[in-house]
Amino acid sequence: MPKPLSSDIRHRFQRLYEQGLSGREAARRLLISASSGSRLSRRIKKGESLEPARDGRKPGTGKLAPHHDILIEIVTQDPDITLHELRDALEMARDLRVTVSAIDQALRRLGYTFKKRASLRMNGENRASGAPVPSG
């Protein structure tokens, strides 16, 4: 998806348009497409903001949005649960079939991230210092 026009270009377009140039002529002077000029001139006529609209979905949408409460509950009860186990738990609890990546995205939106702990390393070494990890 292309990047939106910068706010500088948008404000320069507005000044040219308000000086009496058509949308297409102002666009030609600023080296932007004629369709962008038409779109911007329509927004100026309607009194709308020239700032670009937010890209992507609205927050809180998606298949897992209504089930955030159970995600939080399961992760709170078992912080070491894997995404695959979490997927299975959701299917059992709510009869909800989702992908592991969807669960990962939902958890990230809720503020949960995966942190590797030194106690979980297989070789028993702390990579930062090279010293063995204390057991216990």
* Assigned CATH topology for domain 65-111: Arc Repressor Mutant, subunit A (1.10.10)
Distance, in Å, from the CA atom of 121 to the CA atom of 69, rounded to the nearest integer, reads: 31
Domain ranges of the chain: 7-46, 65-111
Distance, in Å, from the CA atom of 38 to the CA atom of 95, rounded to the nearest integer, reads: 49
Give pLDDT, residue 109: 86
Q: Note the pLDDT tens digit of each residue in 44-85.
A: 999 999 998 887 777 777 888 899 999 999 999 988 889 999
Q: Note the pLDDT tens digit of each residue in 75-128.
A: 999 888 899 999 999 999 889 899 999 999 899 888 888 765 555 555 555 555
- Whole-prediction pTM value? 0.48
